């Protein structure tokens, strides 16, 4: 039921004797939040519709024998709510004990140890005896480790269905469902196939919403430690834009605090031979993709080539790529052929960088720190070998990096700031905004507009506000006027752009394109809500507020940088001069562009 069903009037209830005034339609949980009363929850999540199945949040209503779930019960005038009676506490204890009895509670060997919501509840309620019978031996639980990105451990599932709701509502992928019933009820994929054998896009949003260790990222921490310890190997690391505004949350900072300098220092202390920046290849992507877009526009508008596919869409989100490969394989021609910044970086590290530093690429191990779990899948794609070697060897999420920093005994709060290493470590503000939804679009416009008209985009301080924001689907139209002579075919063209984040919104836009209702030229698609800053590898918990703060941090980082347009990045200028020659040239096509794979719909 929509939250604003009865919006308008206010009503009064009491919680533990204190009067609270709430909007009509608010739930008891909302009211408690207002009143400063904490009611524990498990299946409830701000991003998702209300389920009301875990029964942890039950409260007592005066005059009623049965307890009510706070998250699913709307307030009514005069309601008297009691959240801390003996009945409520004893019931809640029972619920937690029941959950623990069907749960593999071997916490010390669990990846989520210390970060598990069930564990926290058990600790809060001091569940120190388990009198109930252990149900695990009766269940034949399995662990699915086939996916390069996600591990699904059914023995830890509490059936809150957050992952099902996430995959269905938030992402529109529907890789997971509740199956069977009764004691056999569990969360599965289609016919219980492995995650990498179904339509899962690896976006990791399920991981972000799972309260326990049932869904976690496949971690490569030990592999990275081993690589660093191997003296024969030269280990290079790249960091994505979103990591620097999220990492702090795992290490003592508030959401929205930028820790770029400290992050670089920490990476150097961990022992990486070179610490460089994905933002560099983000700038590079703008050069390549901007050129590609303008070329397509010329071919479509001037040459009237019927084979040119418009709209062109971005291709830096591997979750989005797998999504379109499964769901709309007939539109693969609309994707930009550009690789993502991560993969461009990987290909260049073992060619351009190796040459410049006089290293044998066979001894380079290329590691990336990403806010993303799909990047682990992307690095594993069979075509990502253009350097002659595996372009990106190991992908770590923001969460894994934080674990390594802690394991290394680094006191992050006390770290001094450092700078990225040269050659592929310089970036502009346009590169860093890739982390927010609308960022790729804004970066592309800053460069493309100037390329075509010779002038900066007509927005104050280069902040193209129409493409920013949190609405799931946004549109912006930029009128191109007074072009330079060679771009005169674009004179007067109204460039129609769209931005979508969260795969459910991607589906809506793609369906519009399919039905002929849409007439965009360029669309930015991000698989995750909020863009990469809300990615499947970012610190937990996640919520709209946290993502908003990370976004503010990204735009602040952009505003504070000396260079804010990708084409002005001196290292980008250098790589074209010394190595690539020109955007979408032969060298670029070999290393920086890719092909896609149509996949089945299930």
With contact defined as beta carbons under 8 Å apart, do 335 and 313 qualify? yes
Q: Which is nearer to another protein, 56 or 282 (CB)?
A: 56
With contact defined as beta carbons under 8 Å apart, do 35 and 18 qualify? yes
- State the catalytic residue, choosing from 76, 192, 383, 486: 383
Quote the least distance from Cβ 323 to another protein, whole Å. 13
Active-site annotation holds for 292: yes
CA distance 63 to 320: 51
| 131 is an interface residue for another protein by CB under 8 A | yes
| 158 is an interface residue for another protein by CB under 8 A | yes
| 50 is an interface residue for another protein by CB under 8 A | yes
Q: Which residue's structure tokens are 């610490």? A: 275
- State the catalytic residue, choosing from 206, 316, 372, 497: 316
CA distance 76 to 57: 18
The count of residues interacting with another protein (CB under 8 A) is 53
CA distance 578 to 257: 37
- Burial grade of 219 (CB within 10 A; 0-12, 13-18, 19 or more): middle
Quote the least distance from Cβ 93 to another protein, whole Å. 9
Q: Which is nearer to another protein, 175 or 432 (CB)?
A: 175
Quote the least distance from Cβ 292 to another protein, whole Å. 33
Stretch that binds another protein, among 130-138, 141-149, 466-474, 490-498 (CB under 8 A): 130-138
Stretch that binds another protein, among 147-155, 190-198, 250-258, 374-382 (CB under 8 A): 190-198
CA distance 343 to 561: 24
| 199 is an interface residue for another protein by CB under 8 A | yes
| 196 is an interface residue for another protein by CB under 8 A | no
| 136 is an interface residue for another protein by CB under 8 A | no
Active-site annotation holds for 262: no
Stretch that binds another protein, among 31-39, 84-92, 297-305, 316-324 (CB under 8 A): 84-92
With contact defined as beta carbons under 8 Å apart, do 530 and 556 qualify? no
Rg (CA), the chain: 25
Among 14, 16, 34, 174, binds another protein (CB under 8 A): 174
- State the catalytic residue, choosing from 289, 426, 450, 557: 289
| 142 is an interface residue for another protein by CB under 8 A | no
Quote the least distance from Cβ 53 to another protein, whole Å. 5
- State the catalytic residue, choosing from 115, 218, 375, 565: 375
- State the catalytic residue, choosing from 110, 203, 372, 532: 532
**Residue 488 in tokens:** 């005169």
Residue 71 is given by DSSP the state T
Quote the least distance from Cβ 601 to another protein, whole Å. 7
With contact defined as beta carbons under 8 Å apart, do 451 and 463 qualify? no
Active-site annotation holds for 316: yes
Residue 230 CA from chain centroid, whole number: 31
Active-site annotation holds for 157: no
- State the catalytic residue, choosing from 292, 325, 400, 571: 292
482: left (phi over 0), alpha (psi -120 to 50) or beta: left
Q: Which is nearer to another protein, 72 or 151 (CB)?
A: 72
Give 268's contacts (C-beta < 8 A, 6+ positions apart): 275, 418
Among 10, 114, 132, 302, binds another protein (CB under 8 A): 132
Cα torsion angle, 506, 507, 508, 511, sign: positive
Among 188, 313, 315, 343, binds another protein (CB under 8 A): 188
Stretch that binds another protein, among 126-134, 330-338, 431-439, 449-457 (CB under 8 A): 126-134
Quote the least distance from Cβ 66 to another protein, whole Å. 5
CA distance 117 to 100: 12
Is the backbone peptide bond immediately before 398 cis, with ω within 30 degrees of 0? no
| 181 is an interface residue for another protein by CB under 8 A | yes
Active-site annotation holds for 192: no
- State the catalytic residue, choosing from 217, 250, 288, 378: 378
- Counting every residue written for the chain, the total comes to 602
| 98 is an interface residue for another protein by CB under 8 A | yes
Stretch that binds another protein, among 67-75, 140-148, 291-299, 408-416 (CB under 8 A): 67-75
Question: Could you give the C-alpha distances from 428 to 58, 121, 155, 283, 593, in angstroms and in order?
Answer: 51, 44, 46, 7, 22
Among 157, 175, 247, 395, binds another protein (CB under 8 A): 175
With contact defined as beta carbons under 8 Å apart, do 555 and 468 qualify? yes
| 67 is an interface residue for another protein by CB under 8 A | yes
With contact defined as beta carbons under 8 Å apart, do 482 and 294 qualify? no
φ, ψ at 397 (rounded to 5°): -85, 165
Quote the least distance from Cβ 325 to another protein, whole Å. 16
Active-site annotation holds for 383: yes
**Residue 21 in tokens:** 């005034």
| 191 is an interface residue for another protein by CB under 8 A | yes
Give 366's contacts (C-beta < 8 A, 6+ positions apart): 236, 238, 345, 346, 349, 350, 390, 391, 392, 393, 394
Stretch that binds another protein, among 9-17, 188-196, 267-275, 513-521 (CB under 8 A): 188-196
CA distance 29 to 508: 31
Is the backbone peptide bond immediately before 311 cis, with ω within 30 degrees of 0? yes
Question: Could you give the C-alpha distances from 16 to 66, 90, 316, 328, 493, in angstroms and in order?
Answer: 17, 17, 51, 53, 63
CA distance 351 to 266: 26
Among 99, 236, 312, 348, binds another protein (CB under 8 A): 99
Quote the least distance from Cβ 132 to another protein, whole Å. 5
Active-site annotation holds for 249: no
Stretch that binds another protein, among 50-58, 104-112, 283-291, 541-549 (CB under 8 A): 50-58
Residue 224 CA from chain centroid, whole number: 22
| 74 is an interface residue for another protein by CB under 8 A | yes
**Residue 218 in tokens:** 């496949």
Quote the least distance from Cβ 54 to another protein, whole Å. 6
- Residues identified as active-site: 289, 292, 316, 336, 375, 378, 383, 532
**Residues in the site for another protein, rule: CB under 8 A?**
1, 50, 52-56, 58, 65-67, 69, 72-74, 87, 90-91, 94-95, 98-99, 101-102, 131-133, 135, 138, 158-159, 161, 168, 174-185, 188-191, 198-199, 601-602
């Amino acid at each position: 039921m929509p939250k604003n069903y009865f919006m308008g009037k206010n009503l009064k209830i009491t919680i533990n004797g204190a009067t609270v005034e709430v909007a009509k339609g608010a739930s008891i949980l909302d009211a408690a939040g207002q009143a400063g009363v904490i009611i524990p929850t498990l299946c409830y999540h701000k991003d998702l519709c209300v389920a009301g199945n875990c029964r942890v949040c039950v409260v007592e209503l005066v005059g009623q024998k049965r307890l009510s779930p706070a998250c699913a019960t709307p307030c009514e005038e005069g309601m008297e709510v009691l959240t801390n009676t003996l009945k409520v506490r004893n019931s809640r204890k029972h619920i937690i004990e029941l959950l623990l009895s069907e749960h593999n509670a071997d916490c010390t060997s669990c990846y989520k140890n210390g970060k598990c919501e069930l564990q926290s509840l058990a600790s809060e309620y001091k569940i120190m005896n388990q009198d109930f019978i252990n149900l695990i031996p009766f269940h034949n639980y399995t662990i699915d480790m086939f996916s390069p990105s996600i591990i699904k451990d059914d023995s830890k599932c509490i059936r809150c269905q957050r992952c099902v709701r996430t995959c269905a509502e938030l992402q529109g992928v529907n890789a997971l469902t509740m199956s069977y019933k009764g004691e056999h009820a569990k969360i599965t994929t289609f016919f219980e196939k492995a995650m990498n054998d179904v339509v899962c896009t690896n976006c990791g949003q399920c991981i972000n919403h799972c309260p326990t260790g049932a869904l976690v990222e496949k971690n490569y921490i030990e592999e990275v430690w081993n690589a660093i310890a191997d003296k024969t190997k030269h280990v290079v690391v790249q960091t994505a834009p979103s990591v620097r505004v999220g990492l702090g949350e795992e290490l003592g900072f508030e959401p929205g605090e930028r820790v770029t300098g400290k992050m670089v220092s920490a990476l150097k202390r961990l022992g990486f031979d070179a610490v460089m920046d994905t933002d560099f290849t983000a700038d590079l992507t703008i050069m390549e993709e901007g050129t590609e877009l303008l070329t397509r526009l010329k071919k479509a508008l001037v040459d009237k080539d019927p084979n040119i596919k418009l709209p062109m869409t971005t291709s830096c989100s591997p979750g989005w790529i797998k999504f379109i490969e499964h769901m709309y394989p007939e539109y693969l021609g609309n994707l930009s052929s550009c690789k993502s910044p991560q993969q461009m970086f990987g290909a260049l590290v073992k060619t351009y960088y190796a040459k410049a530093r006089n290293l044998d690429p066979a001894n380079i191990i290329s590691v990336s720190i990403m806010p993303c779990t799909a990047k682990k899948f992307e690095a594993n794609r069979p075509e990502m070998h253009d350097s002659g070697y595996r372009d990106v060897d190991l992908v770590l999420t923001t969460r894994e990096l934080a674990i390594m920093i802690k394991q290394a005994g680094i006191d992050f709060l006390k770290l001094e700031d450092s700078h990225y290493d040269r050659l592929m470590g310089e970036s502009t503000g346009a590169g860093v905004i890739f982390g927010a939804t609308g960022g790729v679009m804004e970066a592309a416009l800053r460069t493309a507009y100037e390329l075509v008209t010779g002038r900066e985009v007509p927005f104050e301080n280069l902040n193209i506000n129409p493409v920013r924001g949190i609405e799931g689907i946004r549109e912006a139209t930029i009128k191109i006027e007074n072009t330079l002579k060679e771009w005169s075919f674009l004179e007067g063209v109204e460039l129609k752009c769209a931005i979508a984040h969260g795969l459910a919104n991607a589906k809506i836009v793609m369906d519009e394109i399919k039905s002929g209702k849409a007439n965009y030229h360029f669309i930015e698609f991000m698989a995750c809500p909020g863009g990469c800053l809300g990615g499947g590898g970012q610190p937990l918990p996640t919520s709209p507020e946290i993502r908003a703060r990370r976004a503010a941090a990204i735009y602040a980082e952009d505003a504070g940088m000396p260079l804010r347009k990708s084409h002005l990045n001196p290292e980008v200028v250098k790589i074209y001069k010394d190595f690539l020659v020109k955007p979408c040239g032969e060298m670029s096509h070999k290393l920086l562009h890719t092909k896609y794979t149509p996949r089945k719909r299930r």
